[in-house]
Amino acid sequence: MKTHTLETPGAGLVHDVRGPLPTADGRPPLLMIGQPMDAGGFAALAARFPDRTVVTYDPRGLGRSTRKDGRTDHTPETQADDVHAVIGALGAGPVELFASSGGAVTALAVVAKYPADVTVLVAHEPPLITLTPDGRAAVRARAGVQEAYEKRGWGAGMAAFVAMTSWEGEFTEEYFAQPEADPAAFGMPTEDDGSRDDPLLSDRSWAISGYRPDADAIAAAPTRVVIAVGEESTNVQTGRTSVATAELLGQRVTVFPSHHGGFLDGEFGYPGKPDEFGQRLREVLDGAS
């Protein structure tokens, strides 16, 4: 693996390249992106593709990548420009793209704005909360997570986030009537360290979850777009946002093994099924339904 830093006017974008460029078999490189997860979260999945040139990167301001624009928010449009810059720096033509969570939102923005960059996109569980029928309630639930974080710190905010993302079905008054989530019940710290800059729990990534993809531009692009959902996510928020995104694009979701982090191993505490997930991704990239 070779690590590179691409300096742009707004950021220093660190990306890792596993394998040769140009690729050994002439197939496009496989780029994997997330948000707010950085390249470290794709180690297990990349290891399932030893025959491919795999590229991972840290979005600006996350992981090893820096930002020079004086901002702290994360927007799909800015990140799409960054991904476009990384793809150009690879010098290997368009890529195949696996994108998860907020990275899937960024990837949809890439296809809309830079359609020649990506041959096939597998967008795994984009958290586009305003697309669901209960979008207003979902926005209210998101605000509740931020409120818990601002009032009581990281542990409380993360407990509220887990409660939100594990809630099954639409966000009803029953959801909002629940007592505040207890961080201790989730094994999270109850003390407040005073920080309020978490990209997941603050409002810094609201532009991502509130984004509406340009369906017409995506339809006009030559990219084959697949919206993927974990089999365990069917009734929770990211499963429902995946279905809504697919419907916006006039298609149906493609089911993958496991959950929202189904490609992770045990390193992050909630292991998925990386072997099964990697095999499914390989099939979908190759054109299987």
Say which residue the tokens 């810094």 belong to.
204
pLDDT level of residue 267 (50, 70, 90 thresholds): confident
pLDDT level of residue 289 (50, 70, 90 thresholds): low
Residues 76, 79: Cα–Cα separation, whole Å: 5
Say which residue the tokens 């990384």 belong to.
86
| pLDDT tens-digit readout, 209-241 | 999 999 999 999 999 999 999 999 999 999 999
Report the chain's terminal Cα–Cα distance, integer Å: 31
Residues 271, 109: Cα–Cα separation, whole Å: 29
- pTM of the full structure: 0.96
Evaluate if residue 268 carries a pLDDT over 80. no
Q: Which tokens in the block code for residue 56?
A: 């991972």
Predicted local distance difference test score (pLDDT) of residue 169? 97
Span 144-157, average pLDDT = 97
| pLDDT tens-digit readout, 20-40 | 999 999 999 999 999 999 999
With 0-12 / 13-18 / 19 or more C-beta atoms within 10 angstroms meaning exposed / middle / buried, residue 178 is exposed
Q: Read off the amino acid at residue 259.
A: H
Span 141-151, average pLDDT = 97
Estimate to the nearest angstrom the gap between the alpha carbon of 281 and the chain centroid.
15
Nearest to 41 by CA among 113, 142, 114, 124: 124
Alpha carbons within 13 angstroms on the beta-carbon side of residue 23 total 19
The percentage of residues in the chain with a pLDDT greater than 70, rounded to a whole number, is 100
| pLDDT tens-digit readout, 90-144 | 999 899 999 999 999 999 999 999 999 999 999 999 999 999 999 999 999 999 9
Say which residue the tokens 């992981």 belong to.
63
Residues with Cβ within 8 Å of 156's Cβ and at least 6 positions away in sequence, in order, are 148, 149, 180, 181, 183, 190, 192
| pLDDT tens-digit readout, 160-189 | 999 999 999 999 999 999 999 999 998 999
Do residues 121 and 99 make contact, with C-beta atoms less than 8 angstroms apart?
A: yes
Say which residue the tokens 């990697």 belong to.
278
Nearest to 154 by CA among 145, 164, 143, 163: 145
Query: Mean of the per-residue pLDDT values for the chain?
Result: 96
Q: How many Cβ atoms sit within 10 Å of the Cβ of residue 144? A: 21
Task: Return the percent helix, strand and coil in the chain, to nearest 5.
Answer: 40, 15, 45
Predicted local distance difference test score (pLDDT) of residue 288? 74
Evaluate if residue 205 carries a pLDDT over 80. yes
In this structure, the strands spanning 2-7 and 224-230 are unpaired
